[in-house]
Structures are given as C-alpha cells and as structure tokens.
Structure 1
Amino acid sequence: MTSTGARILGVLVLSMYGDKLGEYQNPYTYDSSGLALTPLGEVQEYQLGRYLWQTYFNDTSPSHVSEEVPLSTLLSGGGILFEADGGGDGRVIYDSATALTQGMWPPLSKSNLGNMTLANGTSVLSPLQGLQYIPIAPIDPADDVSFEGWLDCPTFWNATRSFYNSTDFKKVASDNAAFLDSLSSLVGNRTTNLTQMMGIYGFVNTEYIHNPAFHLATSSDTLTKTRQLANYYAAGVYSSSDMGSIHNIPGRALLPKILKGVNRLADLGDPLRFYSMSMSYEPFMSLFNMMGVSGTFANISGIINYAGAAAFEVRTDMYGNNPVIRFLVKNGTSDSGFTTYSLFGGTKDVSLKQFRTLLQPHSLNTLSSWCYTCDNNFSRGCEANSTIPVPPNPFANRSNNKLTAVASGLIGAGATLFVALLSVTVCMMTGFLKLGKRGKRLSAVMSAPGHHPRRGSDFKDGMDDDDVQLRKWDRMPDGQKSTV
C-alpha cells in the first residue's frame, strides 16, 4: 500500500524470458539452435503481463501509475515503453516480451472491436479478436551493449579464467566431482565439468520439464543440486559484491538505461510512466549483487526463474515530495506477487538522489567507456579505439600450451575459408562466378563462417573426437529435442 501522502509516479520493470526449447547441436558444450518460446513460456509471460496490468493499471490498485492520465493517452502519447534483448537467444526474449504485452493488453472485447464500412458497402472487422499491437523495440547487441555487456569483453574473459583458477572454485569442483560424474550418463555423456555448469543445468532443467522419460529417471534432489551448482557458477561469473568489478559488467552496461529511465519517471514533465525491459538472467544477477539484495535475501540470490520480474517503482516520499525508489521482485510464477526488498542494506525506500549517487560511478554511460573497460577495439563499435592494444587470444590454453577445442575450430574454419576463397577466385577467373550485390553478401558470410556476432565466448574444456552415445531420451525426433 502507498504511504500517507505518497503516490507512485511510474515504474521500470525488468523481466526474464519464459520457458524455451531448441535442438542440441554439440554433445560437449550444450550449444543449441532453433530456440523457441514454448506454449508454457507464453503462458508464463502472459500471466506476468496480467499481473503487471492489475498492479499498475487497474484503477483500484494502490500502485496505479496513470491516476491523472487515461491509459489510452499513455499508449498513444509515449507513456509506455517496451524494449527487448534481440541477441543470441533467437526470438525467445522478444517473443517473451510480446506475450507479456498481450497479457497487459489482451484482445479487445467484442463491443470494442474496430470496424468500418467501405465505400462499396463491404463491412470490415478487426482481425485476431481485436488483438492490440504494442510496439517493442529490439535491442541488437551488435549496435548496443546495454543488454549483453559481457559479450566480446576480453577483460571479462580474463576475470572468468581467474575465477576458474581460484582456490574456492577448485574446491567446489573437487567436493562435487562425484555428483558431476554421476550426471554424465544422465546428460547423454556430455561434459560435466563445473566450468560447463550453466549448460548442464539448462539441459537437466529443460528435459525435466518436457521429457517424460527423463523426468521419471531424474530425482528432484538431482535437479535441486544441479541448480545450486549453477547458481554458484553464475554468481561467480556474472556478479560481485565489489560494485566496480568486471564481473558486474552485465549490470554496469545496463545501468545507463536504468538511471535514465528512473529519472524520466520522476520527471512529471516527461510522459513516460511505464518502462519495460525484457532480458536474460545475467543482468539480474549482477544488479541484485550491486544493490546488496542477493547477499541479504537468499530467495533471490540465484538465477531468476522463468518469467521473473524486478520493478523499480518511482514514488514520492510519505510527504508527497521528493522521489524515492522502491525495489520489488517476483521470482517467477511460483511467487504470487511482488515482494519489497531493501536496497543497499537500508530501508525499503531509497531516495532517488542516493540511488543515483551509489550507482552512477559504476555505470558505463558511453560506448567508449565500455570499450575501455573491456579492452575491446575489434567489435561492437569499438573498432575506432585504436589506442587500446589488441587483446591476447582468449581461447589459448596457456596451462598446457595446447589449443582448446574452440581455437582448433577457428583454425579449421580458417582452413575452410582459405579453400572457399580459393574456389571463388578460380570460379571468377574462369567466368563461372560474377559478384554483384548478392556476391558481396556472400563474401560477407564467408568472412565469418559459423560465427554469430551476438553470442558470447564459450569457456569450453578440452574435447575429444569420440562418438557420444546418447541415452534414449536424447535420441528423440527432431521436433521434441530441447534445450535451455
């Protein structure tokens, strides 16, 4: 409930994608393709959207954000803003945002359906039972680092290696070696080292949800233990109690949008009242640690659940004057609603000024600041930063002077590229191939075979060429294979 004299000015919501499926392509690294939001994921996001509408746009809600402005005016006048990560999860995150908006603005009632009569007398009625079209801006990681700040970041790669080599990581790996080994047959003899923990958990969690044979063969204790190790891994890689740590790069890259967003919400001269961002789990982990909530509240210390959400409510104080920030989390569909959490070890409401003061020094407000922090001068718009030295090969395994499988793959790709270019040259010389506009596109594709610019670096262990014998639930028809 709002305090006496206080009112909510607006809200910024971060939302996690819903349940997804895909097809596993690599038996060692859990790489997958064809990722898609499932009907379950659509329902999860739709339900989150309904909850957000009831919380922030229902006239009877104490957190109503449009008391002075009609909802129709907010929609048409820039009062609502939706953004979604358009990166390496295919359309899963964007489709999750779409399902969320459908929950907030479902199809119109029959009495409100748009209709018109044409000059020739034909009557036309709005399709799809009056589905409302809410614009969502996709944020491409190739053009904007905000939603995926950890990609192509050599400083982050080095920090992750240091985490792998830390005494604590090695101890956790050793203490859980037997359990990890026991997962090998369960996951189709895939790699089960601690460094592959996110892939392991993704496989186990998705198969447990969607594969009846796997569900029967896997205990809930195994799923819980796997998630605990995944939480440990993700917390060590994507977060730190040191707010300025490179491990917090997911949160630090997103902070400019958050700080600008809450400033706009606090400005009554700005029409924005509701700002939604859909994304993956990494920024959640980083931000929760930076704001001091994950270390204090165990129930939100790990990977956020499917269709989870965090809200930054911008409110006036109890006297109706200075703006404050109230932070709330709904950790997936298992939570019936938002729970308020104290930020920075303080009270439930933090002044907007204090919120900015504590976070602004660690915010990467410009592309150049991100490029400098990551030591990147080779991608994502950092190419002009020629003063930054070219980083060392992040895939070189210096401990045994052997190349990892990733580096070997790059060498193989280079050899393939050489052969392909030689073939193209021969064809051009003999008149069999002429390059026009499509030819230029062909050469662009050939310059980076098999590389997806929006995917991050995989810290893969050494691999062998042995055939992997998959168990029966891993030999399912293509349409039933899955991943997280």
Structure 2
Amino acid sequence: MSADNSTVLGVVVFARHGDRQGFYQDPQTYTASATVITPLGEQQEFQLGSLLRSQYLNASSSTYIQGIANADTLFQSNQVIVRADAGGEGGVIFDSAVALTQGLWPVTPKANTQLANGTTITSPLNGYQYVPIESVEPDQDVSLEGFTSCITFDTHTAAFYNSTAFQEKQAEVAQFLTDLKPYMDNRPVTLQNMWNIFDYMNVQSIHNATFANALPAGYLEQAHDLANWHEYNVFSDTSATGIGNIAFRTMLPSVLTAMQRIANASDPLKLHYSAIAYKPFLSLFNMTGVNADGALPPTIVNYAAGVILEVRQPADSSEPVLRFTFKNGTDDASFLRYPMSFPGWSGPADQDVPMSTFISAFEPAAVNITLDWCHVCGQTQARECGALLGASSNVQLAAHHDRISPVGAGFLGAGLTVAVFAMVLAVLLFLGLLSFGRGKRQGAQKPQKKEHVDLPSSTNSISKESA
C-alpha cells in the first residue's frame, strides 16, 4: 500500500544549474569549457529553493520535514549538507547552489546579534543567511563528476558512436542536419556533436531574438529530441554497474550515507543537496527505472530541474521508505511522483521503496573511493591515480612474504597486521592522499579548492539514522 500517511524524515535533493551562457563540451571526453550563470538562471534557482522551502520547511505542509528548523527560524548548519560540482562549467553550478539556498533560507531580520553595549547588528542585505557550500573539485573528489578523465567511459562513448544504432540514426537525420547548417554559425553539424548543436540553439533561442525569429518552427524541438537520444545512450547502461552509469555511481556513496543519516533519529541531518549538471540525472533515471513505463521520458533535464528522494517513516512500519519525485524546471508547476523499478524491486506504482531494498540494490554499484574510481575507469595518471595505485601496490607487495612455519605465523600474525596497516597510513599520509575528518565546507560566496577527500562508504545496516 502507499505510504501516504507517512511522515518525511528528510530529503536528498539533486538540482541542475540554472540558465547560463553557451559553452562547448567535447563529444568524446565531455571535457567542458567555462561559462557563467545569467540573472534568469539565478531567478530559476531562487524560485526552486523557494518551492522547496514551502514544501519541506513549512510546518503546516504535509511534506514538512520532521524536526528541521522551520521557515520561521534561522538556518541550522548541522541539519544541512550542500555540495556543488565545481568542474568544467566554471562557477555556474556553484552560483546556482547559492541562488537556490537563498530561496530556501531567505533574508530575515532574525539574522542578528546584540552587542554588549546594547546595539543590535543585522547581517548584510537585511539579514542574509550565509549557507556553507562545499565546492567539489573534480581533480580532488570524483563524486560529482566521475565521468570526466574516465578512460573506460570514453571507450563506452566511442563504442556508441561506432554502433549500428548510431549509424542508422545518422542516416535517418542526415537531411535535418544539412538543413540546420545555415543557423549554426559554422559549428560542426554532426550527430556526434548533437548536444553542442542543441545547446547552441537553446541558448540563442532564449537570449537572441534575431536567432529565435529566424529559426524555422520545430527545429529546436527536433534537435532536443536528438540530443535526448544521444545523451541518454551515452549516460546509461544495461546494468547498474555498467560504466555508462558512472555519472551517478560516483554519487551513490554520499547519497546512501545521507539516507542512513537522515533515518537515524540521533543524527541531526535532515537535508542533503547536490548541485550538479544534467549527466547524473540520466544515469539516475536509468538505474532507478523511473522512465521504464514511459511516464518520465529519458530526457536532458531542463535548467533548475530537481529530483527529490524523500526519506519517509510509515505510520505502520518501523522501516523507512523512499519516494522519488521530479520537477523538470519551469515545465512542471510542482514535483511529481514517479515509481521506481529496478532489479530487486518491482512493487506497485503507488508503493514507496523500503530503504534497505534500495541500499541493497545500489550499494554494489557505488564507486566508494578515488582508488576504486581509478580501477573502474582504467585511469593511471589523472586525479592522483598514479600515486594511489602505487601506494596500493606497495601494500600488496608488503603482504607477500616468504612462507614461515605455523608456529612462527602464530607469533607474527598480529604484529604483521599492525605493521602493514601502519605502512598503509604512512605511505598515504606522506603522499598527502589521506586526510582525517570531513572535507572543507566553503562559504556561499567563495568556492575554493578543498583537500583531497575520498568518497564515504556506506554500510548495509539501517540505523535509526543545458550541462
């Protein structure tokens, strides 16, 4: 049965950035150039944040998060984690996170302090609330952009371009691509470059009246459909552990950990928000099967689109459940619920997924630490893989000693374990590849490089914890 009588314990939020200026990404490696957010994009994100505030911070809402600081109180940092991809699009995604959090926690006169002399000082801008945002640098943390510099993913992309399906589609749309050339300002008009073609058309249609008026009716929609087909085939796979899903697989450890923390009554975390590009959405849709019945098509999500995984507590059950909701930017007035369907779960469309079922299904697909990513992606140099693989190799060599007698093994076993563990720590600390404690949390205005932090690994137990 549906868990409509359940209460919301917390939410895991994924949101795409807002409207931005145009940019280019390599269709083979998806390495992207920098761009900037526009005032329209900032407004889109602010409005999305305001909607989240009305749904989850409003004490009178049916989806109010139990125990979170409500709309009448100040932001509480121990209840919230905000992370933003600081990769190839420059500051667009980080700036989107700033705008969204402004909508979630807007200015308030309560953001003040009283001095010893009796003077009351209010925060700038009439009570601006400064929400810490973690700037996730891809060269140091693979969690939000695991698809770049990934050799096996590049191989997967090349295989798609060489596939029969791609060649057939290319022949099918050849005339349309020829017809597009006069509007593309000398850009390569090929099916392989389809995302860049659509992005250029989309940006120009929003910001360039001359282009928008000259483009024939239906061209933008047809380019969008082709870009959707192109990108979904690149950022999906036939199995959850497939390399095509790498964009979300690297996000899974932080997502699963956040769910378990939210379900833990002794943990204060209530809201975990990741600001990302469109690619992880496609892998997420593929892995969760929300587009299996066609109700949610495999599409490049619009600017300021969002997915919310609600962690709920049913009234008649001790186990938390998950509910998937999605809002495709301004195309949707509100978040709509979609049923998940994946190996290990095929419940009724109106039934929420037990959290233990979700974790059991997706934990094997998670890429937990950078060293795992190096192996999965066949990478030996980028993102410190050379040093990580070298350190791992040294540890393995240290474990292979000459055989000793059973008596000697009895005396040395425990000591060898301690020695090898100490060697691992020493090598990693010396190379600067291991840090203790949480990663840096940055202020909302100044994204900075953060120290190398491997992804957290989740546990099997459930405690009462356009791009």
Please, what TM-score do these two structures have when normalized by structure 2?
0.77
Q: Distance in 2 between matches of 1:164 and 1:25?
A: 16
The alpha-carbon deviation at position 320 of structure 1 amounts to 4.5
Contact 1:295 1:301 survives alignment (8 Å)? no
The alpha-carbon deviation at position 36 of structure 1 amounts to 1.0
Contact 1:59 1:67 survives alignment (8 Å)? no
Residues 77-116 of structure 1: matches in 2 within 5 Å?
Answer: 78-109=78-109, 112=110, 114=112
| Alignment RMSD | 2.8
Letter in 1 for 2:281: F
Q: Distance in 2 between matches of 1:128 and 1:5?
A: 40
Find 2:373's aligned residue among 362, 370, 373. 370
Letter in 2 for 1:10: G
Residues 9-408 of structure 1: matches in 2 within 5 Å?
Answer: 9-22=9-22, 35-67=35-67, 75-76=75-76, 78-109=78-109, 112=110, 114=112, 125-344=122-341, 345-347=346-348, 348-384=351-387, 385-386=389-390
Cα gap change, 1:4/1:141 in structure 2, threshold over 3 Å: closer, same or farther? closer
The alpha-carbon deviation at position 24 of structure 1 amounts to 7.2
Cα gap change, 1:78/1:68 in structure 2, threshold over 3 Å: closer, same or farther? closer
Letter in 1 for 2:245: N
Gaps of 5+ in 1: 390-452, 454-482
In the comparison of the two structures, how many residue pairs are matched?
Answer: 386
Question: Secondary structure of 1:37's partner?
Answer: coil
**CA deviations over 1:63-112 (Å, ceiling 9, x no partner):** 11134766788833511111110111111000000000001111115xx4
Cα gap change, 1:30/1:203 in structure 2, threshold over 3 Å: closer, same or farther? farther
Cα gap change, 1:346/1:122 in structure 2, threshold over 3 Å: closer, same or farther? closer
Cα gap change, 1:321/1:220 in structure 2, threshold over 3 Å: closer, same or farther? farther
Question: Secondary structure of 1:295's partner?
Answer: coil
The alpha-carbon deviation at position 23 of structure 1 amounts to 6.7
The alpha-carbon deviation at position 292 of structure 1 amounts to 0.6
Query: Paired residue for 1:439?
Result: none
Cα gap change, 1:246/1:59 in structure 2, threshold over 3 Å: closer, same or farther? same
Cα gap change, 1:317/1:378 in structure 2, threshold over 3 Å: closer, same or farther? same
Letter in 1 for 2:379: N
**CA deviations over 1:275-333 (Å, ceiling 9, x no partner):** 11100011000011011112323434111111000011011124142111111101111
Q: Distance in 2 between matches of 1:68 and 1:139?
A: 25
Contact 2:93 2:277 survives alignment (8 Å)? yes
Cα gap change, 1:272/1:374 in structure 2, threshold over 3 Å: closer, same or farther? same
Question: Secondary structure of 2:35's partner?
Answer: strand
Question: Secondary structure of 1:228's partner?
Answer: helix
Letter in 1 for 2:87: G
**CA deviations over 1:141-185 (Å, ceiling 9, x no partner):** 011111111111111111111100000000001100111111111
Gaps of 5+ in 2: 394-448, 450-465
Residues 441-460 of structure 1: matches in 2 within 5 Å?
Answer: none
Contact 2:13 2:309 survives alignment (8 Å)? yes
Query: Paired residue for 2:410?
Result: none
**CA deviations over 1:366-404 (Å, ceiling 9, x no partner):** 222211111001011211325999xxxxxxxxxxxxxxx
